Structure 1
Amino acid sequence: MHGLAMIVALVGGGSFKATAAQEDRTEVKRALVEQLRAPEATRRRDALLALSTFSDPTLLPLFQTAAQDSEASVRAAAIMALGQLAPIKEPAGLGEVIPLLVRAVRDPHPLVRRAAAWALGRVPDPRAKSALREAARDSDAAVRAAAVEALGEHRDAAALLERLQDKDAFVRRQAARALGQLRAQAAVAPLIARLGREKDPEVKRAIAWALGEIGDPQAAETLRTLSRSPDPYLSAMAQEALRKVHARER
């Protein structure tokens, strides 16, 4: 396997990464690094996405440089590549990366801001949490949703509770699910209160699911009411959540 076919296999799902000989991997990496100099933004972007699958900390300087590219799609790919490296990089080695990701949260293009929010969710640093709280108030709903998911990784229940009041239903749903994943006891009353005002059926289902994951008995009456909902999906979700609450009471 040579040239473009090798690169396509690498980008297309990782099977090449798992099976190719080391010399082929080295050849592919060299070709992808060269592709970072291509005049076409799409080729630079694709090279970054492929290089990110190598999980190679020595590529960090290339990703940092690409994060300053004039094209938003390339910057976003570079930021995602940095995020891929974050969990395997020594904390001391993230010193230059974190300020770059924090700056990217303020990038003019929402695609880059969204990538930065995702990447910051993988960085165990207080500066990341602060930047994510800022991103959770972004004007773009997709950026806010990415920030909410990342704040869940940082276990920031207070910031997630604030997003329960977001004007976008998808963001509210993400916040409810993240609170459920955290099993945040402090979220029970706000989640129940939100139900009284919530119009979106997907958000209601997410809240029912979250209440079940948290398992607090004070949610039982609310879940019983939801179990009688004419929405069959909400009713089923509430019944399952109620079973979880009762199971934790035993």
Structure 2
Amino acid sequence: MASDGQSTETRFLYSIATSGQYDRLVTYLGSNEPLAVRRKAADLLTQSLESLVDQETDSVVDELYHAALTETTDSVRADIIEVLIYVEDNAVDRLVSKIESGEYPTPTDSPSPLVYVEWFDSRHVELRLVAVTGLGQIGTPQVVSKLIIACQDSDKRIQIRALKECGRIGDPRCVAVARNCLQTTDRDVKTAAARCLVQIGTPDAIGGVMALCKEDDLRLRRAIVSELGKTGSLSVFGILLNEIADPESQLKDLAIQSAVELIAHADSANSHAVRITVGTHLQQVADQDTINKLAAVVDSPTPQIRRNAIWVLCQLIDPSVHIESLDKLIAAIGDDDETTAKMTVSKLAKCTDTVVLDQLDEFVETHEINSRVMQRIDYIRDQIKTKTADDRRKEAIEYTKVSNPADYTKKHADE
């Protein structure tokens, strides 16, 4: 009888679902509805994820988050989180942020971080996923042991998230489990493990991924190359240089980006050595494609990356050949970062090719120039014109090496 009653109690939800009113179905997740109604509404939503996306609005998403935070039954909450994960890429992170904000009710009677500890052993993958993410956000040494356990979870989603958090925290205790995850046949877990090891960045961690850079798995190599620059260590530069020098490489743009990041992230004790090494070796392998891809890095919104990209570009550019890249340098004359602007002015002022003057004129004609930038441009012009005039004078003068001034007089007297 109870089953019949429950069926009668929730039958109307089927009509709502079959008529495609999924946004209306979400409204029945409220905590004031009977458990049977909430459970069936959540279940029907998990069966209609693709259709729900078509009706997704901010208000619908907000209702889902509210329901996830206020629901009292774990199985229903897990279904709601499953729906959220489908409709929003960063749903788990947003849910953790809402829990941590204190602006929303705690999902259980336990506050953060105890709520994550409770969910860590849940039979529901969605709750374990929130738990691992929440513990990772806390990031204290005490939670690392939990994350190490999660890296060995039976569900790959938990493994991947745990590896991500281990990499973000960067605790060397995670190296062993991450290296163990490299042995899996699952590409997603293996890629997450490789990225984790690079982010940890210790010699033992980096040693675990070096051999992977020679594998044919492009996605795996992409994950590694994209993270190597953040280590700030010259020990990984050889991997990047191989990708940059290989004309067939599909990761050249990423490798160049990482090479610039390598300079930016080097510690103060090694920054000069890293800068000179990267600049010198790139000069040896640079071609037009390298210059073009490097010029794209100059557009980075991160001042530190932009500054170092411009420095490398200054080392590689030939103004008479790389006109488009020259325009990038000229634009940097007015950079908001004073160091970047001064470095660019210094480079351009040393040029002797008149093409720089032509490009400067074009820049002035096509851009609104403030007085500070105009002063810098005038300085560059004066320096180039002075050097050009000096070169012409030198070409008109004959230089003869003699050991005795009388030799020179005698030579011309005989002519």
Structure 1 length-normalised TM: 0.69
Distance 2:201 2:156 in 1: 26
1:92-131 matched pairs, under 5 angstroms: 94-95=172-173, 97-123=174-200, 125-131=202-208
Specify whether residues 29 and 4 from structure 1 end up closer, same or farther in structure 2 by C-alpha distance, changes over 3 A only.
Answer: farther
Q: CA deviation at 1:243?
A: 5.9
Gaps of 5+ in 1: 88-93
1:14 to 97, 101, 105: 97
Matched, 1:63 2:147: yes
Tell me the alpha carbon deviations over residues 171-230 of structure 1, each in whole angstroms, 9 at most, x when there is no partner. 3333333244255212224323443163795455338965533587xx26x25246512x
1:117-196 matched pairs, under 5 angstroms: 117-123=194-200, 125-166=202-243, 167-169=249-251, 170-181=253-264, 182=266, 184-196=275-287
Matched, 1:213 2:326: no
2:319 to 210, 218, 224: 224
CA RMSD of aligned residues (A): 4.1
Q: CA deviation at 1:113?
A: 3.0
Distance 2:180 2:166 in 1: 13
Partner SS, residue 114 of structure 1: helix
Query: 1:5 corresponds to which residue?
Result: 69
Contact 2:215 2:221 in 1 (8 A): yes
* Mean Cα deviation higher: 61-70 or 237-246: 237-246
Distance 1:143 1:200 in 2: 26
* Mean Cα deviation higher: 61-70 or 174-183: 174-183
Specify whether residues 226 and 44 from structure 1 end up closer, same or farther in structure 2 by C-alpha distance, changes over 3 A only.
Answer: farther
Contact 1:173 1:203 in 2 (8 A): yes
Query: 2:381 corresponds to which residue?
Result: none
Give the counterpart letter for 2:296 in structure 1: R
Contact 1:106 1:113 in 2 (8 A): yes
Aligned length: 236
Specify whether residues 244 and 47 from structure 1 end up closer, same or farther in structure 2 by C-alpha distance, changes over 3 A only.
Answer: same
Contact 1:215 1:244 in 2 (8 A): no
Higher relative contact order (CA closer than 8 Å, sequence separation 6+): 1
Distance 2:186 2:169 in 1: 23
Contact 1:122 1:150 in 2 (8 A): yes
Tell me the alpha carbon deviations over residues 112-159 of structure 1, each in whole angstroms, 9 at most, x when there is no partner. 233333433443532012124234445443433432344333333353
Specify whether residues 157 and 85 from structure 1 end up closer, same or farther in structure 2 by C-alpha distance, changes over 3 A only.
Answer: closer
Larger Rg: 2
Specify whether residues 151 and 137 from structure 1 end up closer, same or farther in structure 2 by C-alpha distance, changes over 3 A only.
Answer: same
Distance 1:14 1:223 in 2: 49
Distance 1:137 1:207 in 2: 29
Matched, 1:244 2:343: yes
Gaps of 5+ in 2: 1-64, 71-76, 82-90, 244-248, 267-273, 300-305, 333-339, 351-415
Q: CA deviation at 1:39?
A: 4.1
Give the counterpart letter for 1:14 in structure 2: S
Distance 2:189 2:296 in 1: 30
Structure 2 length-normalised TM: 0.45
